[in-house]
Structure 1
Amino acid sequence: MDQLTSRQREILDFIRATLEERGSPPTRLDICAAFGFASPNAAEAHLKALAKKGAIALEAGASRGIRLMESLGLPIVGRVAAGSPILSESSIDAHVRVDPAMFAPRADFLLRVRGLSMIEVGILEGDLLAVHRTSEVRDGQIIVARVDDEVTVKRLRRSNGLVELLPENHTMQPIVVDPQRQSLSIEGRVVGLIRDEFSFT
């Protein structure tokens, strides 16, 4: 990456801070407001200079089409809207500076745990689960699945053409899915857990 001017570094820091706080990059108008630019053209000129120096990538046709070329760490997925990809902009609450390679296989995102369905294997409400994105999972693995637009964390078991999503809480019943009649997609498998120090509200 070529040497940045002090103003370019300030704008890069602002983009980074916005991504970490909101999970999405700032708009050109956000940048104008933050730096007192008279028009979005001034913000665009700085963004193009940052892109030319390799600090960011610009995606055409999107008001927030700014991507940092450095790693922000792992995105934290909160609530996933019906019909939205699990890593859509609206689903990402924040980013955490965690090396994805500290998990094996490497993690692609962190999922905020909601509910008590997995407490008997030490997965508590509010924990962050490190998830490796894959649809290739084996029976017995703890997975992230989407059933009819509901995202859930359960242990996988296949039986007689059905998929059973098993809770690790003896007070709860398994979710039994008939893939011929219900929408089921495997979003990934759990490869680790983070607690406390990265607990955001």
Structure 2
Amino acid sequence: MATKLTERQQQILDIIRSEIQRTGFPPTRAEIARSLGFKSANAAEDHLKALARKGAIELTAGASRGIRLVGEPAASAPPPSPSLLEQLLLPIVGRVAAGSPILAAEHVEREIGVEPALFSQTPDYLLRVRGLSMRDAGILDGDLLAVKKTAEARNGQIVVARIGDEVTVKRLSKSGSQIQLLPENPDFSPILVSAGDDFSLEGIAVGLIRTTPLH
């Protein structure tokens, strides 16, 4: 990197790198602000813009986690192939009917082309977020959550999970054999997964596309 970073900018860069390695997902401005004791996310935004000007990161307008490290491959991402140099065509999944596969034809609203560089790993589909249970992670009602299909996830990752007849987006918390699905909004309660519950992981979140402007 040609331009020297300030100590604070290097701290923020380290936080971004660490969060991508830990969850596969860049932090939000609010998460960076909390980590460094800033009073508002605007202070984090100012530092991010400075990092972008210095060529350390790239910022994507309209994506709450639209931060990409420059000159480093995304964590766990496969090497780019010629097909990834073009836009990805991803289905948008709306409401999921009880007991039906997420990618069943009746759930797909349409397909859209997106830039692969927006995501930490290549997603399989975009899930339209319902409700505000993940508000404090920067995931809002109506946003499109980029999801990579997998039945395995690490502790702390944001996941799409099926419990009973419901499909939900939450942060995964594993302690021994106990699994909890944690909201990112104090108005919502954690979901404790019991041994007898019909529970499965449908995928992990690898990015976000904001569909409405932040106020």
TM-score over 0.5 for the alignment?
Answer: yes
* Contact 1:140–1:157 under 8 Å retained in 2: yes
* Contact 2:158–2:172 under 8 Å retained in 1: yes
Cα distance in 2 between the residues matched to 1:119 and 1:101: 24
Q: Does 1:186 align with 2:196?
A: no
Deviations 1:148-185 (A, max 9, x none): 0200000000124221000000121100011x201111
Deviations 1:124-157 (A, max 9, x none): 1000000011111001000000000200000000
* Contact 1:143–1:156 under 8 Å retained in 2: yes
Cα distance in 1 between the residues matched to 2:167 and 2:103: 12
Tell me the residue number matched to 1:116. 132
Tell me the residue number matched to 1:23. none
* Contact 1:101–1:107 under 8 Å retained in 2: no
Tell me the residue number matched to 1:173. 189
Closer, same or farther in 2 for the Cα pair 1:115/1:109, shift >3 Å?
Answer: same
Deviations 1:71-110 (A, max 9, x none): 8710001111111111000111111111456422100000
- One-letter amino acid of the counterpart of residue 157, structure 1: S
Closer, same or farther in 2 for the Cα pair 1:100/1:82, shift >3 Å?
Answer: farther
Tell me the residue number matched to 1:138. 154
Q: Does 1:77 align with 2:93?
A: yes
* Contact 1:103–1:191 under 8 Å retained in 2: yes
Question: What residue ranges of structure 1 are gaps of 5+ in the alignment?
Answer: 1-70
SS at structure 1 position matched to 2:114: coil
SS at structure 2 position matched to 1:90: helix
Closer, same or farther in 2 for the Cα pair 1:103/1:184, shift >3 Å?
Answer: same
Cα distance in 2 between the residues matched to 1:126 and 1:91: 15
Tell me the residue number matched to 2:47. none
Tell me the residue number matched to 1:88. 104
Cα distance in 2 between the residues matched to 1:150 and 1:186: 12
Cα distance in 2 between the residues matched to 1:150 and 1:78: 13
Cα distance in 2 between the residues matched to 1:139 and 1:186: 13
Question: What residue ranges of structure 2 are gaps of 5+ in the alignment?
Answer: 1-86
Closer, same or farther in 2 for the Cα pair 1:136/1:101, shift >3 Å?
Answer: farther
- One-letter amino acid of the counterpart of residue 115, structure 1: G
How many pairs are equivalent?
Answer: 128
Matches within 5 A, 1:20-35: none
* Contact 1:100–1:108 under 8 Å retained in 2: no
- One-letter amino acid of the counterpart of residue 118, structure 1: M
Share of identical aligned residues, percent?
57
Matches within 5 A, 1:144-155: 144-155=160-171
Select 1:156's aligned residue among 150, 172, 180. 172
